[in-house]
Amino acid sequence: MSILVTGGAGFIGSHAIVELLNQGHQVVALDNFCNSKSTVLERIQDITKKEFQFVEGDIRDARLLKNLFSKHTVDAVMHFAGLKAVGESVSNPLAYYDNNISGSLTLYKAMAEAQVYKLVFSSSATVYGDPQQIPIDEMHPTGAVTNPYGQTKYINELIC
């Protein structure tokens, strides 16, 4: 399979790419480096000894996504691109709504136009809000989120 990994230079995205490459998949990574460094891409190649495609850009850029999907074969998307700090989301909620919701919608629209319907979305335990019990399992109710970061993850789950 050929898999687009958004947030590919981030912590989770880079680890996913290593595993995908080691399993023999083709990878196209997308990142804007707002939460990551380009040196991570070199480390992925050092670890795997395998080549992959990289596109520098933002999931909010519809034109870039359209070009990406037309230039590269993509069978599925692993979506890890997103702002991720709870405290920062409280002090700057609009940036989180813009990137994590608007950006994801732009990505989902581009996927639909390219007829790519397989998606792994990286959510967060923040969608559970204040836990009613610990450990939290997947049957725990969601939606009682307590910060903008959690709200963006929960809204994405509803959209998906």
Active site residues: 149
Query: 120: which strand partners?
Result: 78
Query: Smallest Cα–Cα separation from 153: which of 133, 128, 119, 131?
Result: 128
Handedness of CA 132, 137, 140, 142 (dihedral sign): positive
Please check whether residue 75 is in contact with residue 3, taking contact to mean a CB–CB distance below 8 angstroms: yes
User: What is the rounded CA–CA span in Å between residue 84 and residue 136?
Assistant: 20
Please check whether residue 106 is in contact with residue 59, taking contact to mean a CB–CB distance below 8 angstroms: yes
Token pair 């190649």: residue: 45
Q: How far is CA 121 from CA 4, 78, 116, 160, in A?
A: 12, 6, 14, 8
